[in-house]
A and B are shown apart, each in its own frame.
Chain A
Amino acid sequence: MKKHLIGRPVPRKEGRAKVTGQARYVDDLVFPGMLYGATVRSRVPRGRIKGISFGEGIPWHEFTIVTAKDIPGENYVALIAHDQPYLADGAVNHSEEPVVLLAHPEKYLLEEARRAVQLEIEALRPTFTIEDSLNKKEIIWGEDNLFKSYSVEKGNVDEVWARADFIVEGEYRTGAQEQLYIETNGMIAVAIPEKGVTVWGSMQCPYYVHKALMALFGLPADKVRVIQSETGGGFGGKEEYPSMIAGHAALLAWKSGKPVKIIYDRAEDMAATTKRHPSRTRHRTAVSKDGKLLGMEIDFVIDGGAYTTLSPVVLSRGTIHAPGPYFCPNVRIRSRAVATNAPPHGAFRGFGAPQSIFALERHLNRVARAIGLTPEEFRRRNFIQPGQTTATGQVIRENVNMNHLLERALVLSDYHAKTARFARENSGQRRKKGMGFASFMHGAGFTGSGEQYLASVVELEATPQGRVRVLAASTEIGQGTNTIFSQIAADALGLDYDSIEILKPDTASVPNSGPTVASRTCMVVGKLVEAAALGLQQTLVGSGYLPEGYTPAGFERACKRYIESHGPLKSSSQYQPPPGIHWDDATYYGDAYGTYAWAVYVAEVTVDTVTFEIEVNDFVAVQEVGKVIHPVLAAGQIEGGVAQAIGYALYENVVWNEGRMFNSQMTNYIMPTAVDVPPIRVFFEELPYSYGPAGAKGLGELPMDGAAPAIVNAIENATGVSIHHIPVMPESLMEALAVTEKAVERA
């Protein structure tokens, strides 16, 4: 047998279907007699529903109309808390809140009808900002507007301020960001009261949708079936909201007796579905005169929007990543997720970490300046070393070497020569150039005991023809699930790439391998694929049908013989935590993640001080991610994540108007195009991780964390202007430059 696929750029499993246009996404599916569904939304950010009326000129008798009273089971989207209704009943808490559903065979008439539904809502005073929510100007959720709070304590931060040589404070903010997958959200449902509910659609987490539909319809697990169609990007944006759309389509199908398709148009998708949580972070840092961190006090707040959704877990990841890849003996982190009357914010690649890491990596540059060290020298003195503990008391057991990553990134980007040259040449120039970097890490897999609760399962099944099928709920959303699972299974079994088939996630036929989130698909689920493959091999060896050093033909003969005498040949594997991992949810103490990916990113920018345009000219991304399973897919993840983070830093500005996204169009919400991105140069270091498949770790979210602070640090290097929020729009740069110029004049 041979092992030759891991580490090689095999062709993407479903590549041919994608480049020929044959891949079938949900909007490509048509069912006989299908109706289209539409959603009537509140349009008032907070209030009480007094009445619903249906305007004239619409043949309402042709429509299927669903309100909260039509719901057969529970009126909540089952996730963490049960506070978000499928359809508002009495109260509305954000202006995109669904109130009425309509279905009709004719799309154009449906849209006219949607506009003809009038909601009479008595408005209540809304809350839109983190500050108003924290100050409890109005109580809009629970008793105190807090979805969740955490506190992390290490050492005794209270005693460091008196003996610190320097104390540096700062406040940093990040805006909302839209995932902007190019395929909008959509679902098709077939629902027959005596048979059950089946949905097809674009999603990351089939079993989340499954759980939500069971509660909505009061049905047992076997009466609900969820099937993933080809999914045109997710980035977290299809983690939770698909449960809402699936429920809506299914409610309309249940009442009408016909298949119902709901496809959001771009404006509805951008405005109504989840976006990245806006954040505010305050740092107070104590440093000794030799540049060592003595104490860090961090106050991290995220805006969760109107309902709990995933905010507690986003907050958790943001909290744990807030002190970064540094050693500090005394740390206090207080973090809170607050309610506002905006549509709920949710999962987006990085999941809280890009927010808190932006704050930290901007702040550390400020600290370095205050004590008179370069940003790189200050970090060198404080990088966490093997054997040291993180803020949650996790001992770093892997052989991490952040200094090495930093050196390599600075060399590859020609950082020192360029900073020196730009410093000489910028003076008097309209276009100023600068270099900036950020150092960071990203925990792979669910936080704390999350993976143990999930207890994911993967199955493998062999056919008499010697083909092996992987059965998992992990979705292919572009990141390469199908391809890497095939590589891992094929190498474990010594088979060819083409002998492996990946079954389309369908809750009727695949086990629950957990959600496709948290950089866990390769490392956690891939490990289960590997283990199940080895289990299959052991079964065949144990049965005496598979000789050592077998060939693919020998494997086929063994499968055939086994199945003929024993029946189906299956193997399953369930998650077991790596040994020595401990986490205490109550004290928030212990091993927050099984492992981390580590990185240093460097950006080179040009700032035009007349037009206030900012260009990123070069980008170097150096990271340690364990064994790279597929070099092209892995680099593709980093490049795509960096591009998304360039958007986060410079272009992607969600404009709010009374709690509604004002610019919910691609025309005025701007993401990077082919002419905006710099060369993104990706370099991997590979220290195999014992508990990942072939030594792999997770890497999908990592690139989202570091690019924004690297770019804003570079802007500061170019202009001398310190900016504390993203996105850095031309107008905010103009303002910041004007303030600095005034300060210079006064001096």
Chain B
Amino acid sequence: MPDRVNKAEITCTVNGETLSLKAYPMARLLDVLRQELRLTGTKEGCGEGECGACSVWIDGEIANSCLVPVLQVAGSEIKTIEGIATGEQLHAVQEAFISCGGAQCGICTPGMVMAAVNLLERTPHPSETEIRMGLAGNLCRCTGYMKIFEAVVRACQATGVKA
């Protein structure tokens, strides 16, 4: 970005840690996460908000980080794929993605897991339609989605809630 634009100081929380960043205000949140914070689990698939590979949570809402200027997240709480497991303990959705075959090439997987966990936090017992709608913003070219749907269902079962 040209020198005429000054970097701004932005404070936000990322995966529970409060950070003070210097970034160009219109820099994409995606680039700040990947390049400044080296949180490369968030992927770029299209750069135009279609594929969902860059999905993160901003104050609990799922968002395409490629469409969010970093200035907009000042004061916000951000969660990325790196914040989903608890230490070595994977989240039930991550476990289910492994056991059901929900991840193939893996490039959509972080975004897909962010969307699936977000869905289950809002709707602990989703119907099939709710699962499909909840993941409709995340494109997967490998699986045909069947194993991803299965993984979401298995994750509900694993967390002890009955659909």
Contacts and interface: CB of A to CB of B under 8 A. Distances in A.
Interface of A: 9, 11-12, 14-25, 27-28, 108-109, 179-184, 230-235, 265-266, 477-480, 632-633, 635-636, 639-644, 665-667, 671-675, 677, 679-680
8 contacts: A27-B44, A181-B107, A182-B105, A182-B141, A230-B106, A639-B143, A665-B50, A675-B133
Given A21-B82, A28-B40, A16 B144 contact: no
B55 to A, nearest CB: 11
Contacts of B46: 266, 665-666
Given A674-B148, A675-B132, 11 more contacts: A9-B101, A11-B98, A20-B82, A183-B105, A266-B48, A635-B101, A640-B104, A665-B48, A671-B141, A675-B133, A675-B136
Dominant SS at the A interface?
loop
Interface of B: 1-2, 34, 39-48, 50-51, 53, 80-82, 84-85, 90, 94, 97-101, 103-110, 113, 131-133, 135-136, 138-149
A18 B103 contact: yes
Contact of B103 (A15, A665, A679, A680): A15
A183 B111 CA distance: 13
Contact of B110 (A21, A642, A675): A21
A233 B2 CA distance: 35
Nearest to B102: A19
A593 to B, nearest CB: 25
A639 B147 CA distance: 9
B143 A640 contact: yes
Residue from A11, A16, A633, A673 with most neighbouring chain B CB atoms (10 Å)? A673
Contact of A20 (B42, B84, B104): B84
B98 A231 contact: no
A108 B144 contact: no
B141 A644 contact: yes
Contact of B141 (A12, A181, A265, A675): A181
Contacts of B42: 21
B141 A235 contact: yes
Closest 9 CB pairs of A and B: A21-B41, A478-B105, A232-B107, A18-B106, A643-B144, A639-B144, A478-B104, A21-B81, A666-B50
B144 A642 contact: yes
B98 to A, nearest CB: 4
Contacts of A181: 105, 107, 141
B98 A25 contact: no
A354 to B, nearest CB: 16
A181 B51 CA distance: 11
A636 B143 contact: yes
A636 B101 contact: yes
A667 B100 CA distance: 30
A49 to B, nearest CB: 30
B98 A19 contact: yes
A16 B98 contact: yes
Nearest to A679: B146
Nearest to A24: B40
Contacts of A666: 45-46, 48, 50-51, 139
Contact of B99 (A11, A18, A231, A674): A11
Nearest to B147: A636
Given A182-B51, A632-B147, A675-B136, A232 B105 contact: yes
Nearest to A483: B101
B103 to A, nearest CB: 5
B43 A636 contact: no
B146 A680 contact: yes
B43 A19 contact: no
A640 B139 CA distance: 12
Contact of A478 (B51, B132, B139, B142): B142
B85 A182 contact: no
B140 to A, nearest CB: 7
A479 B105 CA distance: 7
Contacts of A635: 101, 146-147
A18 B98 CA distance: 9
A458 to B, nearest CB: 22
Contacts of B51: 182, 666
Contacts of A673: 136, 139
A261 to B, nearest CB: 12
Given A181-B105, A639-B143, A19 B97 contact: yes
A186 to B, nearest CB: 10
Contacts of A232: 43, 105-108
B107 A674 contact: no
B153 to A, nearest CB: 13
Contacts of A184: 45
Contact of B90 (A19, A180, A478, A674): A19
Contact of A183 (B84, B107, B133, B144): B107
Nearest to B103: A18
Nearest to B111: A182
